[in-house]
Amino acid sequence: MRSLVVRAVVTSLAVAGLLIHAQAPSYADTVCQVTDPETGVCLIYVEVPGTPGDPGDGDDDGPKDTGGGAACFWDGSDQGITKPPPGPVSCSTEYGYWSNGYRCYISLLDPQPPAGDPNWQGHEPGDGAVYNCYQPQTDLLIWIWSQDPPPNSGAGPTPGEVAQIAIQEMNLRAIDIGITPEPGEDSIGIVGMPVWMWAANPDEHTVGPITESASAGGITVTATAKLHKITWDMGDGATVKCPTAGTPYKSAYGNTKSPDCGHVYEKSSSKQAGGKYTVTATSDWVITWEGAGQTGTIRLNGLTRTVAIAVGEAQVLVQ
Domain boundary assignment for the chain: 4-68+157-318, 73-155
Q: What number of CA atoms fall less than 13 Å from residue 307's CA on the CB side?
A: 25
120: left (phi over 0), alpha (psi -120 to 50) or beta: alpha
Q: How far apart are CA 22 and CA 124, in angstroms?
A: 79
What pLDDT, in 10s, does the model give residues 289-308? Answer: 999 999 999 999 989 999 99
Nearest 5°: phi and psi at 277? -85, 135
What pLDDT, in 10s, does the model give residues 100-130? Answer: 999 999 999 999 999 999 999 999 998 999 9
Burial class (CB in 10 A: 0-12, 13-18, 19+), 38: exposed
Amino acid at 23: Q
Indicate the DSSP class of residue 286.
E
- pLDDT for the residue 62: 78
What pLDDT, in 10s, does the model give residues 170-189? Answer: 999 999 999 999 887 778 88
Helix (H, G, I), strand (E, B) or coil at 138: coil
Q: Which pLDDT band holds residue 313 (cuts at 50, 70, 90)?
A: confident
The two counts, helices (H) then strands (E), for the chain are 1, 17
9-23, 55-69, 82-96, 276-290: least confidently modelled range:
9-23
* Burial letters 60-91, b for 16+ CB under 10 A, else e: eeeebbbbbbbbbbbbbeeeebeeeeeebbeb
DSSP letter for each residue of 87-104: EE--SEETTEEEETTTTE
79-83, 139-143, 220-224: least confidently modelled range:
79-83
Q: How far apart are CA 274 and CA 270, in angstroms?
A: 8
47-51, 83-87, 127-131, 233-237: least confidently modelled range:
47-51
Mean local confidence (pLDDT), 190-205: 96
Q: Which pLDDT band holds residue 79 (cuts at 50, 70, 90)?
A: confident
Indicate the DSSP class of residue 261.
S
How, if at all, do strands 73-74 and 87-88 pair? antiparallel
pTM: 0.73
Select the highest-mean-pLDDT range: 41-55, 69-83, 267-281.
267-281
Determine the Cα angle at 73 with ends 153 and 58, to 5°. Answer: 95
Mean local confidence (pLDDT), 25-40: 34
Q: Which pLDDT band holds residue 60 (cuts at 50, 70, 90)?
A: low
Mean local confidence (pLDDT), 198-215: 97
